[in-house]
Amino acid sequence: MSAKIIDGKALSEEIIAKTKKQSEEFEKLHLRKVSLAVVLVGDDEASKVYVSSKIKRTASANIESIACFLPENTSQEVLEAKIKELNDDKTIDGILVQLPLPKHIDSQKIVGMVAVEKDVDAFSSEHMGNILLGVDGLVSCTPAGIIELIKSTGETISGKNAVVIGRSNIVGKPVAMLLLNESATVTICHSRTKDLSLYTKNADILVVSVGKKEFVKGKDIKKGAIVIDVGINRHDGKLYGDVEFASAENEAGYITPVPGGVGPMTIAMLMANTLKAANLRLTKK
């Protein structure tokens, strides 16, 4: 049996089209576009690529992007002043600070300064706390995209055994909490987990966010499982996931490809989050 491919690219296009429709309604109602400020400091090549693809997608979602590109030698004080200016600007709905910031910058302080209601990356302790409490609000983009990918299979999450490999603050922990909120029975595995395959072989839903090329093999996967591969590993000019696709697709019921799975969904959820932030801010006034 060959797994059904979960097409993250197609799903992301659907989400962006829906966001575009709703942001056009927002524009008609409020006589301005939903807007996203993207802050990039320095010349990191990978960051430039990520930022330009995010900016490109804002146009498809009828969201205005405000590019705040600052030189590598920008001081902590100047960057803090910029964040404050964006926080205070009533026409800006979302602020995204592209990481990593240059080494001389206190990244945690900068990210922590972004106004909670404009924090579309949703990494702040308030947003994370809301996920933990099951309160509706902004959810960080990659975990939110993963849940959409799982739901797109049409399978129910409730009652399933879900295993998340990886406990990062940006993927593993929040996605585990979101799966719990959907009433899955959740196990979080990490580098100290003994006998990992004992868990993976029992997983109806397997989310892998480890950052190691083809770490999970087909033999570790339960027949018919939903497999979400978060990993992006560059090797000899090619992209690989954390799951060995060739062997996994013979076991899984559904699987995300790399590229074309989680990646495009992260950007689509950023657009959806920016629109949500705009609406939440207006309803709170």
128 binds ligand NAP, rule: CB under 6 A: no
Catalytic, 98? Answer yes
At residue 281, φ and ψ (nearest 5 deg) are -65, -40
Min CB(127)–ligand NAP separation in Å: 16
Min CB(211)–ligand NAP separation in Å: 3
At residue 7, φ and ψ (nearest 5 deg) are -85, 95
Give SS3 for 137.
Answer: coil
Burial 159-170 (b: 16+ CB within 10 A, else e): ebbbbbbbbeeb
Choice between 167 and 281, CB closer to ligand NAP: 167
Q: Give the interface size with ligand NAP as a residue count (CB under 6 A).
A: 24
Choice between 265 and 277, CB closer to ligand NAP: 265
143 binds ligand NAP, rule: CB under 6 A: no
**Non-local CB neighbours of 85 within 8 Å, separated by 6+ positions:** none
CA-to-CA distance for 50 and 55, rounded, in angstroms? 9
CA-to-CA distance for 230 and 240, rounded, in angstroms? 10
Subset of residues 223 to 252 that bind ligand NAP, contact rule: CB under 6 A: 230-233
Q: Site mask, ligand NAP, residues 184-223, x = CB under 6 A?
A: -----xxxxx--x------------xxx------------
Instruction: Determine which helix (DSSP H) or strand (DSSP E) holds 239, and give its type and residue range.
Output: strand 238-240
108 binds ligand NAP, rule: CB under 6 A: no
Stretches 75-83, 85-93, 99-107, 170-178: which one binds ligand NAP (CB under 6 A)?
Answer: 170-178
What are the catalytic residues?
Answer: 54, 98, 121
